[in-house]
Amino acid sequence: MSQRKRAVLTAVGQSRGERTTPQPESIRRSLERAGVCFASTESMTATLPFSLGDVSAGSESELQAVVSGTRHQVDLPLFIEQSNYFSNMLRHAAAGEMPRKAISDLENFLDDNSSGVWENSWVRFPRSRLSPYAGEVLERDLLADKGNPAAGRRNDADRFGFQDASGQEMLRLPISYLIKLALADLIGSQPLLPPLIKQTGMRLMDHYLNDNTSPETFSFNVVSLTPRGGMGKAIARETGIRFLMTQLLVMYANQAFGLQEHGQTAMTYFAPHPPVRQKELNEHVSDSFYRELFMSPCLSGWDRGEEKHRYMQLCHQVLSRSQLNAVAKLKDSGIILNNLVVLPNLSNISLANNGTHISIGSRRLTRAMADNACGFNVQHEKNLADLAIKITEHFLPLFVGTYSAAPYRLAFGDFHPEKALGFLPHELDYTHLRMIWRRWRKKADLSILGRPLTPFGPESLDRVISRLFGLKGDFVPDYRLVDYLACLLSTDRSPALNGVPGNADRLRKDLADMGVFDEQMSVYLLYKMRE
């Protein structure tokens, strides 16, 4: 390889603002330690990590969950009506301490649901419906620390059960956990189940997670991506099998747990966006009550589920605050020219976005990490991973609309910059932010007689103007890139992808000081190294 090519490869792994941190080992040397042969172009391409025959993959799928039924039988409307939050609102409205409209809006949400579909609602059913083994699984998941049963139950264990009017013990659980419990019940109710199938079923229970609003599953087995297996089709087949099994378990739960007998039908499906009615409800309740309604209790997947639940609450708080702080950045960038803005809601629902996460592994790097003699360690792994992320990010425009899609149409009334640009002020520098906003307004044709126009604010006025002048807004191919904090902009002193271990910790601290992020949270990236 020529000196010029070596210099280019080495330079790719370096970033601005690198003066105070040690430089990582060169990319070439890191690759040599991993077993890459530079004797010829052919040998190099054949031995590179992630080359043909070296790739393994898995996926994680986030699903949308709903419960169908009347407001008098489904958990979500019942929980809202019976909550202290709703009772306090009624009392304050009666005393004239808050507008009556706040109550009427929430009551209208509960009443005006002709479809009978309640997104991300929990379910209620008699505990007596569980098989003994499913009951054991539930009790274990209610422990404060699964690794230390002596610590007792979680402090919030009481929220998962109650007694109905007849004194019968009832369970109330999110659908994300219901799926795992259905598998446990199926295993426990089959006394003649062959040992191999029973062991496999018990292993698969751990693949049904719930740390966020939506049910999550991850690959039952790691898949090799080879031409014979169809490359990406192999992971698609595994995902399809997992989705089919999830559907069968939900159908089983509807019957075996008596959900349908109690007027509830649970369903799961693929949907990228937060439900429209959930967005509407978010406008009518506080951020704290929203978290109580929709943040997963994290019963499955973590030894200390209650701690994980608090972490997810922190994520919601930080993202809500971060979107509010984005307004100040829009003003600093010159996009907002006056103090007339539509403030974002203090409760952000971006965590309700769904997607599929693909994990890609290299067998060559795995072997190198296990071989102490070659000298390949976490520093070299970090160096190569950051380079791979930098290269992959350049191809993002090709992915959107080809490999990923979450189409969404913004109406004219949504084109306030503080609403339309979402989290982009935290992801782009001011120059690119202004350029995108200028070109986006032109593409959406937000003008009257050649004069640019943005919404005025009052929804009724904006609707009239939109109809009168034919202002239709614009179409976004993947709205999650705007509506979710998909990645974080590095600071000059703390680049996120310079190949140096610990760079994410330094970036988190900088962003926390700026009010964008929190040091306890994992850095958000479109492509990320698993640590």
Percent of the chain with pLDDT over 90: 51
What are 185-193's contacts with CB under 8 Å, separation 24+? 185/129, 185/130, 185/131, 185/133, 185/134, 185/252, 185/253, 185/256, 185/257, 186/249, 186/252, 186/256, 187/133, 188/131, 188/132, 188/133, 188/134, 189/131, 189/133, 189/256
Q: Is the pLDDT of residue 452 over 70?
A: yes
Per residue in 53-94, pLDDT (tens digit) is: 899 999 999 999 999 999 999 999 999 999 999 999 999 988
The rounded Cα 77 to chain-centroid distance in angstroms is 25
- Predicted confidence at residue 174, as pLDDT, reads 95
Per residue in 478-520, pLDDT (tens digit) is: 899 899 998 889 988 898 888 888 888 999 999 998 888 999 9
Q: Is the pLDDT of residue 340 over 80?
A: no
pLDDT (average), residues 34-56: 90
Q: Which of the four pLDDT bands, split at 50, 70 and 90, describes residue 211? A: low
Q: Which residues contact 304 (CB under 8 A, 6 or more apart)?
A: 144, 145, 146
- The SS3 assignment for 59 reads strand
Read off the pTM.
0.86
Question: How is the chain split into domains, by residue range?
Answer: 62-304
What are 18-26's contacts with CB under 8 Å, separation 24+? 18/495, 18/498, 20/493, 21/498, 21/500, 21/503, 21/506, 22/500, 23/500, 24/379, 24/382, 24/383, 24/498, 24/499, 24/500, 25/379, 25/380, 25/383
Q: Is the pLDDT of residue 16 over 50?
A: no
- Predicted confidence at residue 83, as pLDDT, reads 95
Per residue in 423-438, pLDDT (tens digit) is: 999 999 999 999 999 9
Q: Is the pLDDT of residue 3 over 70?
A: no
Per residue in 512-526, pLDDT (tens digit) is: 988 889 999 988 888
**Per-residue exposure over 246-275, b if at least 16 CB sit within 10 Å of its own CB, e if not:** beebbebbbebbebeebebbbbbeebbbbb
**What count of other Cβ atoms lies within 10 Å of the Cβ of residue 427?**
21
- Predicted confidence at residue 6, as pLDDT, reads 40
Q: Is the pLDDT of residue 303 over 80?
A: yes
Q: Which of the four pLDDT bands, split at 50, 70 and 90, describes residue 8? A: very low
Amino acid at 56: S
Rg of the chain on CA atoms, in Å: 26
**Per-residue exposure over 471-490, b if at least 16 CB sit within 10 Å of its own CB, e if not:** bebbebebbbbbbbbbbbeb
pLDDT (average), residues 175-201: 94
More confident position, 22 or 518: 518
Taking phi first (over 0 means left), then psi (-120 to 50 degrees means alpha), and beta for anything else, what does residue 71 get? alpha
- Predicted confidence at residue 499, as pLDDT, reads 86
- Predicted confidence at residue 22, as pLDDT, reads 58
- Predicted confidence at residue 110, as pLDDT, reads 94
Q: What letter does residue 404 receive in the DSSP assignment?
A: B
Which two tokens mark 223?
Answer: 């898949």
**What count of other Cβ atoms lies within 10 Å of the Cβ of residue 387?**
21
Q: Is the pLDDT of residue 21 over 60?
A: no
Name the average pLDDT for the chain: 88
- Predicted confidence at residue 18, as pLDDT, reads 44
Q: Is the pLDDT of residue 308 over 70?
A: yes
